[in-house]
Amino acid sequence: MGFMNAHSQEWAQVHRSLIKKGERMAKNTAKFQKDLLRAYQAVDAVAPFLHFASQDILPWSFRVQSAVDNGFEQAAVLRNNRLELAARLNTENTVRRLRAHAQDIKDRLQYARTADLVSLIPPTAKFIFLGEVHHQPSIEKQILYLLAHYHKLHPEKRIMVLTEFVLDTNVSLLPKEMDARVTSKRAFFDLLMKWRIPVFGLEEPAARFDASREILAEKDGKTFLSSTALAVQTRNRHWVKQIKAMHEAYPDMVFFIYAGLGHTEYNLPYSVAAQFPAQETFAMDFFVGRRLRFTPFDRAFNGAFSGTGVWYWKDPKYARLAGFDASIVLPGVKK
């Protein structure tokens, strides 16, 4: 921690300059690559052995995960820091683009206190992303209802759930495998199996992901927090590969991809949903009480579109820039 104390002030100064640099980059894309390289060099010089958590991307307060960082190799840390920096700059650019189209976005974004969520999903959607805030039982119940309702209204469509919360073995989840493959939400997946909805995992077993500690150990033995830029990029690339493989094997199915919204929002770094054709993709995010301020959309509008209810678009022009096709804010739990 001594290293952090010695350099945190210096990093804070570098970070402030990088935000200003990012603003200039957004206005002059021709200089982007040259300035970004210089920015990388500044980060490498100041903090080659520090890790910046993904929360900082957006950005939150500077912090170091020292217990995990001690196992990092310098090359991996430098790569992670560069990914984190690029993500920060791209996010700042997204916020500015959203604000530049503020009035048009307000005119196109629709609101309803309640809505039939299934009716919002276009018939052309083959990849339906369900992004959640973790550890919220009311979100799990809403997603279970959505899956059951879709299954009932579209009996002609075969559906499959692909999810972050199950380890990937390319075999549909079975009751006898529950303890070995499900990282959380056992009761949730027990219901899906009773409904005979096939469930396949996205999290790669070879990466030895430990959800209880939020740690991802990569194949070569390096250990990262699962929320670092490098770990998220590694995980998401595997997820995209797995989803595309399933689509190739089962081209007539409709795929519901259930994961944390940090993976499913179109405009977040290394988005899984953004890797699929817009006309075949529909991304829904779920919150409790209010939308969270860490998304570019909420930063751009200071939480103005955060009331309990359903937010959706009159047309999809700004869906990818905003990060979602539909946003569901469930009532908060009264204490």
Domain parsing of the chain, residue ranges: 2-100, 111-330
Measured between alpha carbons, how far is 300 from 298 in angstroms, rounded to an integer? 5
| Residue 322, SS3 per DSSP | helix
Sign of CA dihedral 134, 138, 139, 144: positive
* Per-residue pLDDT tens digits for 184-222: 888 899 889 888 899 999 988 766 665 555 566 665 556
Mean pLDDT of the chain: 78
pLDDT, average across residues 88-106: 89
CATH label, 111-330, candidates 1.20.120, 1.10.510, 3.30.1300, 3.40.50: 3.40.50
Confidence (pTM): 0.79
* Confidence bin at 251 (pLDDT 50/70/90): very high
DSSP β-ladder status, 199-203 and 159-167 = parallel
Mean pLDDT within 215-242: 75
Between 37 and 109, whose confidence is greater?
A: 109
Whether the predicted pLDDT of 63 surpasses 50: no
Burial environment of residue 165 by CB neighbours within 10 A (0 to 12, 13 to 18, 19 or more) = buried
More confident residue, 31 or 170: 170
If we measure between CA atoms, which residue out of 318, 287, 290, 288 comes closest to residue 304? Answer: 290
Instruction: Note the pLDDT of residue 234.
Output: 83
Angle in degrees, CA 87, 90, 96, rounded to 5: 140
Residue 167: per-residue pLDDT: 86
Mean pLDDT of 132-136: 90
Q: What mean pLDDT is predicted for residues 86-108?
A: 88
pLDDT digits (tens, 9 = 90+) for 319-335: 999 999 999 999 986 54
- Percent of the chain residues past pLDDT 70, beyond the cut: 69
Give the mean model confidence (pLDDT) for residues 53-71. Answer: 35
